[in-house]
Structure 1
Amino acid sequence: MLILNRYIGRTVTGAILLVLMVIVGIDLLSELIDELKEIRGDYNFVEVLKYVALVAPGSIYQYLPFASLVGCLAGLGMLASSSELVVMRAAGVSTLRLVVAVIRPTLLLTLIGLVTAEYIAPATQQIAESQRALALQKSAAIHSRHGMWHRESNEFMHFNAVQPNGVLYGVSIYHFDDQRQLVGSTFAERASYLGGLWSLEDVRKVSLGEEGAVQQLYPELQWETGLSPELLNILVLEPDDLSISGLWQYADYLRQQGLNAGDYQLAFWNKLLQPITILGMVFVAISFIFGPLRNVTMGFRVFVGVMVGIVFRTLQDILGPSSMVYGFDPIYASLTPIAICFVIGTLLMMRRA
């Protein structure tokens, strides 16, 4: 049985990795084409290649559930087409044992995906975004298109580039009163975090009053804010690119500021539940092979896998925003597609039994 487990595991894992390589390759090629349009100044072709390489871990994690579904269908489909599954069943191997043999290597891939999502992808994504923003901000005006906005109380802030070591470039701060009237602005070429405080460099501060605008220049100015380098490292990334712990930390920060944290809560639950998502996809693939797809061609199996993956992702994309519009907990938006996968898989396996 050990040899059989290894054989099934090797076949399924190889198919999943092959599908993952193809999908990620297409995604990175698309990313490369998009980034070529941004080439200017210090952001040259070499920097574009570095950016694409650094975002690859995030792409791998994003497409792992989809690749698990299609790869499992392809791997088990090869065994079914060559009648190896029939021989295994005839030799007395139960369906449950075959299911366990398929799920074991999937659990290993799930563990690797979790490590990637928590430690590797957020770090490489942040380096990619900060290096690109730093290369582009020299050719930008006051605001870089690839910079980031943030709000804290009555202040709106924009940063052209955020470095992981607590250094900001192109800092713009707009001050509003309680009636939402602009009362002043501050612009600094650079800001650094030292000893628990932010220090702005080459500062231009404008105050708006009844007598008009008054401008003051400072070589250096202290800046009091609740933002820390750790929070900025989270803020610079999109919710889907953050680690699970980073999502929880920043969602808590937004709640303390009285801001909407729905996007980050939804991304948190999607990432936390992705291992179960992968298992649900694999379970659907197994039920298809032992059920309605056991006697069809490989191309049709791959087509079905792609369609199921698209439907699953579409359902996620619909339920996620719906949770914020209608006010129900984002965890239900994440759990519903997973539950549907397990229900469909269970019904198909019961029919087969």
Structure 2
Amino acid sequence: MIKLDAYVGRTVTAAILLVLLVIVGIDLLTALIDELEDVSEDYTFLRVAKYVLLTTPSSLYEYLPFAALVGCLAGLGSLAGTSELVVMRAAGISTRRLVWSVIKPALMLTLLGLCIAEFVAPRFQQIAESGRAIALQEEGKVHSEYGMWHREGDSYMHFNAVEAGGILHGVVVYQFGEGRELQQVLYAERASFSAGKWLLEEGSVSYFSSEGATKELYSQRAWDTELTPELLNILVLEPSDLSISGIWRYANYLQEQGVSAAEYELAFWQKILQPLAILALVLVAISFVFGPLRQVTMGFRVFTGVMVGIVFRTMQDMLGPASLVFGFEPLVATLIPIGLCLLFGAAMMMRRV
């Protein structure tokens, strides 16, 4: 039985990895073509290639559920096509045992994916986004197309680029009063974090009052803010690119500032429940092979897997934003597609076991 588990596991794992390699390769090629539109004297082709390669860990984790679905269909389908599954069942091996032999490698890949998403992908993505923003920013321009916004109390901040190690480029801080009147605009070409304090360099401060506006230039100036380099490394990334711990920390920070953290809560639940989503899709794939797809061609199995994956992803993409717009719990939006897949897969398997 150990040899059988290993054989089925190797077949399924190889199929999942092959599908993942193909999908991620296509995604990286598409990303490279998109980025070529921004190639310039500073953002060279080599920088574009570096940016795309650094986003690979994030792509691996993003497409792992889809690859698990199609890979299990292809791997099990190849065993069914050579009648090996029939021989195994005729030898007295139960369907439940075969299902467990398929789920084990999928779970191992899921755990590996979680490690990548928690410790590797956010770091690589942060380096990629920071390098891209620095290369694309225009010197002396107050707002960059590739910058980011942040709110802290009554202050609204914009950064053209965030560099690793606590360095900001193109800092603009808009300070509003209790009546939402603009009181102050602070600009700095660069900001650095050292010894627990922020230092602004080469900028100006404009003050606004009922009597008019005044402007003050400076070469260096202290900046009092609750932002830290760790929080900025989170800010530079999309919620889906953050680690689970990073999402949790930043969501708490936003709540302390009185800002809605629903988008980060949604990303948190999607990340933490992804193993369950992979298990649900694998169960659907297994139910198809033991059920209606046991005697069809490999191409049709792959096509079916792609269609199921698209439907699942579409449901996630629709319900997630809907929870933000209509105000229902992000956890519910995340669980609905997973629950439907689990129910469908379980119902199909109950008819075959």
Same fold (TM over 0.5): yes
Instruction: Give the 4+ runs in structure 1 shifted more than 3 A.
Output: none
Return the alpha-carbon distance in structure 1 between the equivalents of residues 346 and 297 of structure 2.
23
- 1:110/1:75 Cα in 2 relative to 1: closer, same or farther (>3 Å)? same
Residue 295 (structure 2) aligns with: 295
**Alignment: residue pair count:** 353
Residue 147 (structure 1) aligns with: 147
8 Å CA contact retained: 1:76, 1:289: yes
Residue 316 (structure 2) aligns with: 316
Which amino acid in 2 is paired with 1:193?
F
8 Å CA contact retained: 1:125, 1:237: yes
Is the aligned partner of 1:19 residue 2:19?
Answer: yes
Return the alpha-carbon distance in structure 1 between the equivalents of residues 267 and 235 of structure 2.
14
8 Å CA contact retained: 2:161, 2:168: yes
Which amino acid in 2 is paired with 1:291?
G
Return the alpha-carbon distance in structure 2 between the equivalents of residues 218 and 211 of structure 1.
23
Map 1:44-123 onto structure 2 (within 5 A).
44-123=44-123
Is the aligned partner of 1:347 residue 2:352?
Answer: no
Map 1:95-244 onto structure 2 (within 5 A).
95-138=95-138, 141-244=141-244
Return the alpha-carbon distance in structure 1 between the equivalents of residues 199 and 162 of structure 2.
14
Q: How far 1:334 moved relative to its partner?
A: 1.0
What do you get for the CA RMSD once the two structures are aligned? 1.1
SS at match of 1:37: helix
Return the alpha-carbon distance in structure 2 between the equivalents of residues 156 and 323 of structure 1.
26
Return the alpha-carbon distance in structure 2 between the equivalents of residues 181 and 29 of structure 1.
47
- 1:137/1:340 Cα in 2 relative to 1: closer, same or farther (>3 Å)? same
* Gap runs ≥5 in structure 2: none
Residue 43 (structure 1) aligns with: 43
8 Å CA contact retained: 1:41, 1:138: no
Return the alpha-carbon distance in structure 1 between the equivalents of residues 29 and 143 of structure 2.
28
SS at match of 1:352: coil
Residue 284 (structure 2) aligns with: 284
Q: How far 1:213 moved relative to its partner?
A: 2.3
Return the alpha-carbon distance in structure 1 between the equivalents of residues 146 and 64 of structure 2.
27
TM-score under structure 1 length normalisation? 0.98
Return the alpha-carbon distance in structure 2 between the equivalents of residues 40 and 204 of structure 1.
29
8 Å CA contact retained: 2:138, 2:144: no
Return the alpha-carbon distance in structure 2 between the equivalents of residues 326 and 163 of structure 1.
36
SS at match of 2:165: coil
Q: How far 1:140 moved relative to its partner?
A: 6.8
Which amino acid in 1 is paired with 2:310?
I
TM-score under structure 2 length normalisation? 0.98
Return the alpha-carbon distance in structure 2 between the equivalents of residues 114 and 292 of structure 1.
32
Return the alpha-carbon distance in structure 1 between the equivalents of residues 132 and 143 of structure 2.
14
Residue 30 (structure 2) aligns with: 30
Residue identity (%): 61
* Gap runs ≥5 in structure 1: none
Q: How far 1:324 moved relative to its partner?
A: 2.1
Which amino acid in 2 is paired with 1:281?
L
Which amino acid in 2 is paired with 1:289?
V
Which amino acid in 2 is paired with 1:85?
L
8 Å CA contact retained: 1:42, 1:135: yes
